[in-house]
Amino acid sequence: MNSTRSYKKQLGFTLVEMAVVLIILGFLLAAALLPLQAQRNIAAQLKTEEILAGAKVALIGFAQTHGRLPCPATNGGSDVFPDDMGTANPNASGGCVVQTGFLPAKTLGLQSVDAQGYAVDAWQNRIRYAVTKANNDAFTTTNGMNDLGVALLKPDLKVCASISPSDCTNRIHLIDNAAAVIFSLGATANQPGGGADENQNLTTPINTTFVSHAMTMPTSANGEFDHMVTWLSPYILYNAMITAGQLH
């Protein structure tokens, strides 16, 4: 009888002990996963930076070949904004259907695309692209830039440190004459709750002001922000086109 009670006590103690071990293992597993997730996110950011850099090179190469920049691709599902499957809209040279849309991966010959042919970042979110409509769409029209000449070209896309007026003045903005802006929506692209700065970047179909700054949390002044933004300097574009004989 005593041995049976002793066995039951030992069994009860073992179950409690196992529960404690499982709890400890749970904490250890959670602690191990957090750094792993952070490492994956850093790797995705680095990969996306490479993709955005490659997009700029592709845009410059396109301009050197065609004497203009491509229009954005659209995905509106209508006659006005059709699904372009990663092709610039319009494909022929001229004014663009939209100023802000998707990076035309098929037109640029990019390889990192989704099943529909749109350029994607490391999180498999479609990369956005905007092109200036300055000088009556000269930047996307065949011979439009060359006919005017460098001295008269005035690209007007602006990238600011924030959409707040104090962070988007002529003194503080990052650039006020970009020919094109390319950006990733970051890891949280498919999640609601983006802040004012993210919403500014998503203004469509016409947008001339974009925001780029370090990642912020939802509790920050302008809300959550994890977009990765880059832009095409007109001077780099002009020099490349002059070298290729596409601009004077």
Q: Exposed, middle or buried by CB within 10 Å (0-12, 13-18, 19+), for 3?
A: exposed
The pair of three-digit structure tokens given for residue 8, joined into one six-digit string: 């039951």
Report which of residues 41 and 83 the model is more confident about. Answer: 41
* Section 7-13 average pLDDT: 52
**Residue scoring higher pLDDT (4 or 112):** 112
- What was the pLDDT predicted at 49? 96
**Nearest-CA neighbor of 221 among 196, 245, 202?**
196
What is the model's pLDDT at position 158? 95
pLDDT at 215: 92
**Between residues 39 and 154, the one the model is more confident about:** 154
Choice between 210 and 191, residue whose per-residue pLDDT is larger? 210
134-146 pLDDT, tens per residue?
Answer: 999 999 999 999 9
Mean pLDDT (whole number) for 233-246:
97
If you average pLDDT over residues 163-167, what whole number do you get? 84
The share of the chain scoring above pLDDT 70, in percent, equals 84
What is residue 78's predicted lDDT score, i.e. its pLDDT? 44
DSSP string, 103-135: --HHHHT---B-TTS-BB-TTSPBPEEEE--HH
Whether pLDDT at 39 is above 90: no
Indicate the pTM of the whole model: 0.83
CA separation (Å) from 163 to 22, 192, 224?
A: 49, 19, 13
pLDDT at 209 over 80: yes
